[in-house]
């Protein structure tokens, strides 16, 4: 709410202070000498809000957003029962009030709404923030070469410590290290393993839960309806087939999607638009999605989509905002466009530094998969590089980009391209479908055109240099290209690798924070480490995993435990939102309920012999010799003989 009330001039000043020294400091940094300006702008804004009052719509939007989350109670993959028990325990341990207080919050939202027209929120802001004497101003200032300095200092400490030891003490350390290594690789005893309670295969339902949907028509256009008990919430997608875009417009498309919903429209300033969206919708996201075909990594469905959720009663207002964004977004405010793109670049930089494994996975798969190459162009490293290129010469490029944005809209927003997906109760359709019809009525007929893209650049095997002192090392490949079919038993293979061989070698002995292997239905597969102090050693472990599986010594009882673990991941209770989304993804990928049941039966039939035979899948992936590493530059240089080139990550 506070940000919504900050005058545009003050927001611009804050943004300017935060970005004017970007080239001299770490990405997203600000001038530490301008601390007083930051504090003054914040305090002036607080005083302004206390004096003039909060914007009522901003308050309503904030309350609605929180109430929506509370009513939906979506805890992701965490079972609701566990979450509710934890909430109850918190009240039980630390409160003298009703321990079930967490489940009766509707009355609080009612009171908050009633307080909108009073000075309740302004008083809280004054008493709890402005007049609060417990204030801390924390500055984190980067120092060039600090990581290298720390590493050298640490190495010096180790050298000095070693020099202080006698030969006998050194031998004792060597002896202890060898004992630790032996302990780390030693399997648990049968007696210890027997103490762990577990299910048996007879406890597992042979029939899996499907993802049924009904294909319907709205004014002659396709609608996929997924019937779920949604507590009067509609989860929906309005999507436009983007295969009609020519390849030359794909980079501009990756920029345009960042702006949608964040610019002025015909009837709203962008701040008001965000508030209105939060008032009527739990979530409204305009983005692109690429759905990989289940059997061919070079085939996909590429869509421009509006994905959201709203209470039934709010669907008309929600769709009014969707139409406003899709059809009346104003691309003429170049200053706002640049601000938004700068904000996005900062967010992407932070993401790439902290999620190096995700960057390396997508980048490595893009070397041979047209699907992943398109995803990389739209939402990966290629998108970031294009975004940086645009911002570095913004004044020269923006007019051409705006022309391309308008061209993209003319091509995509047509009746021939539009389809719908909705997850709700049957009752929800009478609210959703009339609004979908209004979208269709606003679209031109358009042409039926389908373009093919060629974005794969070949095996680059890059080292992507970051400020990190650890690495994220990925090896990737595609087993289908070696003629191997997908089988449900691959989830057992992943579990064995992830909890036995890779875990012991890369995590326990190698010191990485994490490591895992994944084998996709399309054949795309990868091995990745997380915050890993080694590169070449880890790649060797990946390769050695083929031999480990080929000679696997686990008995059927051990295999059964891995089967149960795999089934547990499959049979996790799904929220209405997740079930609708997964149904949509399976539909777009061409995965049927029959395919899912077949995979389940293959999984349940896995034997030790099956596991050993799947060593061929690992070999097929490793034979691709595809690698990508995100790590510090010094680390990459030391390990560069396993990479083709070293380039800057960001």
Mean pLDDT of 532-542: 95
Per-residue pLDDT of 383-419, as tens digits, reads 999 999 999 999 999 999 999 999 999 999 999 999 9
- Per-residue exposure over 158-172, b if at least 16 CB sit within 10 Å of its own CB, e if not: eeeeeeeeeeeeeee
Q: Given a cut of 80, is residue 494 above it in pLDDT?
A: yes
Per-residue pLDDT of 192-238, as tens digits, reads 877 877 788 888 899 998 899 999 999 999 999 999 998 889 999 99
Report the pLDDT value the prediction gives residue 29, as an integer from 0 to 100: 60
Report the pLDDT value the prediction gives residue 77, as an integer from 0 to 100: 66
Euclidean distance between CA atoms 77 and 572, whole angstroms: 7
Q: Kindly state the helix (H) or strand (E) to which residue 412 belongs, with its residue range.
A: helix 394-412
How far, in whole angstroms, is CA 262 from its chain's centroid?
20
Euclidean distance between CA atoms 515 and 564, whole angstroms: 21
Tokens of 630: 């995100």
For all residues of the chain together, what is the average pLDDT? 90
Beta carbons within 10 angstroms of residue 418's beta carbon? 22
Euclidean distance between CA atoms 189 and 494, whole angstroms: 23
C-alpha torsion 574→580→581→587, nearest 10: 120
Sequence-distant (≥ 6) Cβ neighbours of residue 482 within 8 angstroms: 616, 620, 623
Report the pLDDT value the prediction gives residue 421, as an integer from 0 to 100: 97
Euclidean distance between CA atoms 436 and 319, whole angstroms: 8
Q: For residue 57, which of 110, 4, 124 has the smallest C-alpha distance?
A: 4
With pLDDT > 70 as the criterion, what percentage of the chain qualifies? 95
Q: Given a cut of 50, is residue 1 above it in pLDDT?
A: no
Q: Given a cut of 80, is residue 598 above it in pLDDT?
A: yes
Q: Exposed (0-12), middle (13-18) or buried (19+): which is 272, by Cβ within 10 Å? A: middle
Euclidean distance between CA atoms 28 and 187, whole angstroms: 47
Mean pLDDT of 23-35: 62
Instruction: Let me know: does 349 contact 343? Beta carbons within 8 Å.
Output: no
């Amino acid at each position: 709410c506070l940000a919504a009330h900050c005058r545009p001039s003050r927001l611009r000043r804050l943004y300017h202070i935060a970005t004017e020294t970007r080239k001299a400091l770490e990405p997203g940094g600000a001038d530490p000498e301008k601390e007083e300006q930051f504090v003054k702008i914040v305090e002036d804004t607080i005083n302004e809000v206390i004096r003039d009052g909060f914007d009522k719509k901003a308050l309503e939007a904030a309350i609605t957003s929180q109430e929506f989350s509370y009513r939906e109670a979506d805890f992701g993959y965490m079972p609701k029962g566990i979450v509710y028990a934890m909430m109850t325990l918190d009240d039980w341990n630390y409160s003298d009030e009703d321990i079930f207080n967490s489940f009766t919050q509707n009355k609080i939202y009612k009171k908050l709404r009633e307080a909108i027209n009073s000075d309740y929120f302004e008083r809280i802001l004054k008493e709890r923030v402005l007049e609060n004497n417990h204030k801390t101003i924390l500055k984190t200032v980067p120092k060039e070469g600090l990581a290298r300095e720390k590493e050298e200092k640490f190495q010096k400490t180790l050298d000095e410590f070693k020099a202080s030891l006698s030969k006998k003490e050194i031998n004792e350390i060597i002896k202890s290290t060898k004992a630790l290594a032996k302990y780390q690789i030693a399997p648990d005893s049968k007696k210890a393993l027997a103490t762990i309670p577990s299910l048996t295969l007879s406890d597992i339902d042979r029939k899996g839960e499907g993802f049924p949907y009904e294909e319907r028509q709205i004014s002659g256009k396709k609608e996929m309806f997924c019937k779920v008990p949604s507590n009067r919430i509609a989860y929906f997608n309005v999507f436009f087939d983007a295969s009609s875009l020519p390849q030359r417009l794909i980079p501009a498309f990756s920029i345009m999607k960042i702006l949608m919903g964040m610019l002025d429209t015909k009837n709203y300033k962008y701040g008001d638009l965000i508030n209105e969206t939060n008032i009527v919708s739990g979530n409204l996201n305009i983005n692109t999605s690429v759905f990989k075909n289940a059997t061919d990594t070079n085939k996909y469905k590429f869509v421009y989509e509006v994905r959201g959720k709203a209470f039934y009663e709010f669907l008309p207002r929600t769709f009014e905002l969707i139409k406003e964004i899709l059809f009346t977004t104003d691309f003429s405010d170049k200053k706002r466009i640049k601000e938004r793109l700068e904000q996005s670049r900062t967010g992407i930089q932070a993401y790439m530094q902290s999620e190096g494994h995700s960057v390396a996975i997508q980048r490595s798969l893009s070397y041979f998969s047209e699907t992943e190459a398109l995803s990389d162009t739209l939402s990966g490293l290629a998108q970031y590089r294009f975004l940086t290129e645009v911002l570095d010469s913004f004044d020269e490029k923006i007019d051409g980009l705006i022309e391309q944005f308008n061209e993209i809209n003319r091509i995509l927003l047509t009746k021939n391209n539009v389809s719908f997906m909705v997850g709700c109760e049957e009752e929800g359709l009478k609210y959703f479908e009339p609004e979908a019809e209004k979208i269709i009525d606003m679209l031109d007929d358009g042409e039926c055109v389908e373009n093919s893209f060629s974005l794969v650049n070949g095996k680059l095997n890059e080292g992507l240099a970051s400020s990190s002192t650890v690495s994220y090392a990925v090896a990737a490949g595609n087993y289908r290209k070696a003629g191997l079919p997908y089988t449900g038993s691959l989830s057992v293979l992943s579990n064995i690798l992830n909890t036995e061989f890779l875990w012991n070698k890369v995590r326990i002995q190698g010191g990485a924070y994490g490591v895992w292997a994944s084998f996709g239905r399309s054949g795309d597969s990868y091995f990745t480490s997380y915050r890993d102090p080694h590169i070449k050693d880890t790649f060797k472990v990946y390769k050695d995993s083929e031999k480990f599986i080929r000679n696997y010594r686990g008995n059927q009882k051990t295999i059964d435990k891995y089967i149960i673990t795999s089934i547990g991941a499959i049979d996790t209770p799904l929220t209405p939102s997740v079930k609708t989304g997964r149904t949509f993804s399976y539909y777009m990928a061409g995965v049927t309920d029959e395919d899912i049941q077949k995979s389940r039966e293959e999984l349940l039939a896995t034997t030790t012999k099956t596991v050993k035979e799947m060593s061929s899948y690992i070999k097929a992936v490793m034979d691709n010799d595809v690698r990508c590493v995100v790590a510090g530059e010094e680390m990459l240089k030391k390990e560069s003989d396993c990479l083709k080139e070293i380039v800057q990550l960001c």
